[in-house]
A and B are shown apart, each in its own frame.
Chain A
Amino acid sequence: MHEAWVALALTLKVAGWATALNLVLGVGVGYAMARWRFPGRDLADAVLTLPMVMPPTVLGYYMLVLIGTQGPIGAWLLQHFGIRLIFTWQAAVIAATVVSFPLVFKSARAAFETVDPQLEDAARLLGISEVAVFFRVSLPLAWRGVLAGLLLSFARAMGEFGATLMVAGSIPGKTQTLSIAVYEAVQAGQDDTANVLVAITSLVCVCVLLSAGRLVPGRVAPRN
């Protein structure tokens, strides 16, 4: 029983951090891709969407190569800051962020593309700085789509298994999230633990979907 709650708390922590990171990254990149035209934009879009279609184990392998102690980023972190990223909960956050990023990026880009650029021009002509135009016009008008993407990415991050297992492993109480704990329990023949874990996961998913249904419609009414 106890370990199930530990796994749930860890899962929520990892998914929460991943969603927060994606709020900044997904919204920023989604806005840039919606507004700026540059050569190679379609290629950039394809690369940024890759995590959605690639097998999580392949992503996990890429991350292992990059942030492992032998990898370029991992070696640099270890040498300069003494940080060993691999097999920590922070590595699980990175895995969950990468895997759920396209969900925020795609919905944010689509949402920003529906914002009439003329409204941004109107704000500029009223003397408002570029950053303020984003926070006062573009983001409020795209918020519904962004929020929908964030909730999807939270759900995706919660269920993340393959990439997380590769870079964070399965250390109970440290990196063992719900979906990994379920797998371990079934492998070990602990059906009681598996049942509890599965019930908790289902309940949390229903709660996320219900709050998504309550939050998303009618938040802002951009009709005109």
Chain B
Amino acid sequence: MIWDIDIAKRLQHGSASFDLAVAFRSDAARMVLFGPSGAGKTQTLKILAGLVRADRGRVGIAGRTLFCSTTHVNLSPQQRRLAYVFQDYALFPHLTVRQNIAFATRTGWANPPRKLHDASVDHWIETFRLQPVADHHPHQISGGQRQRTALARALMNQPTALLLDEPFAALDKGLRQHLREDLAELQRTLQIPMLMITHDDDDVRALADDVVQLRAGRVATGSTEPAAARA
């Protein structure tokens, strides 16, 4: 089972509280969590990544148990080895594109140098066609280039799965279709399980082997059927 998720969490916003209870199991390599904003998608993704701790439940991804409240397993975000692409990419503004991508190659207290030469970093820069902007800072490059930088940075760490938070929301409509194809291609090449959250049904059509619909913190019933097989 690639995705073995069953989590519960009470989120407190001042006096209001929101109950998140999401459970699904799937073997789809390309999984999509679909739902309107406010349905708890990003919180679910953060729980999977270990950034937010669930009150109880189980998170298993690609055969590894990352969290289990009954056996007291709770891996730190560092130990989970998941590639995570934030909605606004969260690139480090004080580092160049090359330093951002190389970030995980150094585990010490210092950032990789600007003039770093590392075969795998160069490989990802080429794969994502980022050579012209490799020495630029994130605020100097386009939205599409930022997205590719964020993907390259996340994939450098040899992750066991790729988690994407609305990866196309910050981009032009025209660019989206093109980048969806790129992402599908990337996933086929790397053979890495991918889970994306989105509120855009175009993303579902283009990238979902299986869909889970979220509504007000719950899985909407009757939606865990696998979507049509890959074309």
Q: Which residues of A contact B (CB under 8 A)?
A: 116, 118-119, 121-129, 131-132, 135-137, 140-141, 220-224
Q: Which residues of B contact A (CB under 8 A)?
A: 49, 51, 76-78, 80-84, 86, 88, 90-94, 103-104, 107-111, 137-139, 153-154, 156-157
- Note all chain B residues with C-beta closer than 8 A to A137: 92
- Apart from A119-B92, A121-B90, A127-B107: 8 A-B pairs, beta carbons within 8 A: A124-B78, A125-B49, A125-B83, A126-B104, A131-B109, A137-B92, A140-B94, A141-B93
**A116-B90 in contact (CB<8A):** yes
**A126-B157 in contact (CB<8A):** yes
- Note all chain B residues with C-beta closer than 8 A to A124: 51, 76-78
**B84-A128 in contact (CB<8A):** no
Closest to B156 in A: A126
User: Which of A127, A131, A224 sits near B104, CB closer than 8 Å?
Assistant: A127
23 pairs from A and B in contact (CB 8 Å cutoff)? A118-B86, A118-B88, A118-B90, A121-B51, A122-B86, A124-B77, A125-B49, A125-B77, A126-B103, A127-B104, A127-B107, A128-B103, A129-B107, A132-B109, A136-B109, A137-B92, A140-B94, A141-B94, A221-B94, A221-B139, A222-B93, A223-B139, A224-B139
Q: B217 CB to closest chain A CB, in angstroms?
A: 21
The 7 closest A-B pairs by CB, nearest first: A126-B104, A224-B93, A122-B90, A124-B77, A135-B109, A125-B84, A223-B139
- Note all chain A residues with C-beta closer than 8 A to B107: 127-129, 132
User: Which of A118, A128, A221, A223 sits near B78, CB closer than 8 Å?
Assistant: A128
Closest to A119 in B: B90
* Among A128, A132, A141, residue most surrounded by chain B Cβ atoms (within 10 Å): A128
- Note all chain B residues with C-beta closer than 8 A to A131: 109
- Note all chain B residues with C-beta closer than 8 A to A140: 94, 111
Closest to B104 in A: A126
Closest to A140 in B: B94
- Note all chain B residues with C-beta closer than 8 A to A223: 93, 139
A116 to B49, CA, bound (A): 18
* Among A125, A128, A141, A221, residue most surrounded by chain B Cβ atoms (within 10 Å): A125
Q: A125 CB to closest chain B CB, in angstroms?
A: 5
Q: A117 CB to closest chain B CB, in angstroms?
A: 9
A209 to B22, CA, bound (A): 57
A185 to B175, CA, bound (A): 75
- Note all chain A residues with C-beta closer than 8 A to B111: 136, 140
**A125-B82 in contact (CB<8A):** yes
